[in-house]
Amino acid sequence: QVQLVESGGGLVQPGGSLRLSCSVSGGIFRVNHMAWWRQAPGKERERVGVITMGGSTTYADSVKGRFAISRDNALKKVYLQMNNLTPEDTAVYYCNKIPPYADWGQGTQVTVSS
C-alpha cells in the first residue's frame, strides 16, 4: 500500500543545484528513518544519506557538504537539496525508509552534464 513518488530531477550543469522531493503515502512515515539512494548506470544502488525521525542527518562521504536532506512529516515529504553537482552525481535517485520498503518508486533522473 505504500507509495513513493520522487520528483525534481533533470539536466543540470556541473556546479549547479537541484532539489528533489519524495512524496510518501501509506506506511508509517513518522516513526521511520528515511533515506535517499541513487543508482548510476552500471553501478549498484548507493545510499546517499539518512534523515532520522528527529531530523538529524548523515551523508555518504561522496556528497557530504554538498547535499542536505530534510523532511516534513505533516506533508509526508522528504527532500534532497543537491548543490555543487558533478557528473559523478548522475544517477536515478530514490527515496525510501530504513529498512526499505520492498516496493521502490520509479525514481527521478538526475543528469549532470559538462
Q: Are 114 and 22 in contact (CB under 8 A)?
A: no
Query: What is the per-residue pLDDT across 20-79, written as a single tens digit (0 to 9) for each?
Result: 999 988 765 555 899 999 999 999 999 999 999 889 999 999 999 999 999 998 888 999
**For 83-110, how does the pLDDT look when each residue is reduced to its tens digit (9 = 90+)?**
999 999 999 999 999 989 889 999 999 9
